[in-house]
Amino acid sequence: MVDLHDLNRPGVKCTWCPGCGDHAMLSALKKALVMIKQDPEKTVVASGVGCSSNLPHWINTYGFHGVHGRGLPLAYGIKSANHELKVIITAGDGDTYGEGTGHYIHALRRNVDMTFICHDNQIYGLTQGQASPTSLKGTISKSTPYGAIEEPFNPLMHALIADATFVARAYAGNLVQMAEIFAQAIAHKGFSIVDVFQPCVSFNKVNTFDWFKERVYKLEDTKYKPNNKFKAMEKALELGDKIPIGIFYKEEKPSYHDKLPQLKNSPLVKKKIDNVSIKKVMEELF
């Protein structure tokens, strides 16, 4: 059995701001991995750049801290090399829905067997407070002093349109529900996306814990069933005085790597390459 202490990195200090929702997300991820009894040595957490992307430093699994907007392709490379690993991506709303939008859309439609957890604080926190793709219209920030004029990016709607097989939203102020959603997302076979409302206490003075507390409600409390894509889309568009959190949609279908004949017998990292020659390929190139 996996012990929660096995997922802690001794002697490594977490540098997130006091009160940041990222602390709860880290705790929820650790709890989720324990809940599904996931072996830390068979787990990789990949990230791009941002406050959220420091998370691999503070969890005792394998980790890869990449470059801005590139957490998803890095994770895809890891999964392709060894599809027996459980691969988790942790990134922010700017990192993924801004710099990495193209990677996000294609990971969704390919149904790559990975879990993407977005720290959605609706602001660029690491660079101290610019509007992000999910900032609400009218948001006043360092980059939008007269208010954001763009419509906010809706990650759940895009996920549903791109045929994602697990679409969920959590709130950092509810650690118990968040851990349960993470556990189901990680156990899901296929691409799972969990967008987490994670208040930035330093730079987002609008979308605070109190702001969300007045608005969020659990889908499971309404007898909602996550098996109808059109109803899921209706809920994904519900972003006003009431905002749903929970699992919006899930379905089972073959993942991207299930359909690759090269991986049928074993992962790429276990295949023998001593009899492989690239001489012919090199000759064609040069």
Give pLDDT tens digits for 228-251.
999 999 999 999 999 999 999 999
Average model confidence (pLDDT) across the chain: 93
Helix (H), strand (E) counts: the chain: 9, 8
- Region for 38 from its dihedrals, namely left if φ exceeds 0, alpha if ψ lies in -120 to 50, beta otherwise: beta
Please report whether residue 152 resides in a domain.
yes
The structure's pTM equals 0.92
pLDDT tens across 179-207, in order? Answer: 999 999 999 999 999 999 999 999 999 99
pLDDT for 109: 94
DSSP string, 168-225: EEEETT-HHHHHHHHHHHHHSSS-EEEEEE---TTT-SSS-HHHHHTTEEEGGGGT--
For the chain, what is the domain count?
1
Look at residue 67 and tell me if it is in a domain.
Answer: yes
Q: How large a percentage of the chain has pLDDT more than 90?
A: 80
The whole-number average pLDDT for the span 253-276 is 88
Residue 269 lies in a domain: no
Residue 151 pLDDT: 94
What mean pLDDT do residues 260-286 have? 87
Sheet of strand 86-92: strand arrangement: 62-65, 43-47, 86-92, 115-120, 192-197, 166-171, 243-250, 216-218
Nearest to 185 by CA among 29, 9, 17: 29
Domain annotation covers residue 282: no
Residue 281 lies in a domain: no
206-213: long-range contacts (C-beta < 8 A, 24 or more apart)?
206/136, 206/139, 207/121, 207/122, 207/123, 207/136, 209/21, 209/173, 212/171, 212/173, 212/243, 213/173
Strand pairing report for 243-250 and 216-218: parallel
pLDDT (tens digit per residue) in 53-86: 999 999 999 999 999 889 999 999 999 999 999 9
| CA-based nearest residue to 52, from 9, 96, 100 | 96
Strands 216-218 and 43-47: unpaired
Range of the domain at 48: 4-257
Q: Which residue has the higher pLDDT, 76 or 281?
A: 76
3-class DSSP state for residue 124?
A: strand
280 domain residue, yes or no: no
CATH (domain of 196) = 3.40.50.970
Which position has the higher pLDDT, 193 or 10? 193
Quick one: how far is CA 82 from the chain centroid? 20
Task: Decide if pLDDT at 37 tops 80.
Answer: yes
- Evaluate whether residue 76 is within a structural domain: yes
- pLDDT the model gives residue 4: 65
In a domain, 164, yes or no: yes
What is residue 14's three-state secondary structure?
Answer: coil
Contact present, 99 and 133 (Cβ < 8 Å):
no
Provide the strand spans (E) within the chain: 43-47, 62-65, 86-92, 115-120, 166-171, 192-197, 216-218, 243-250
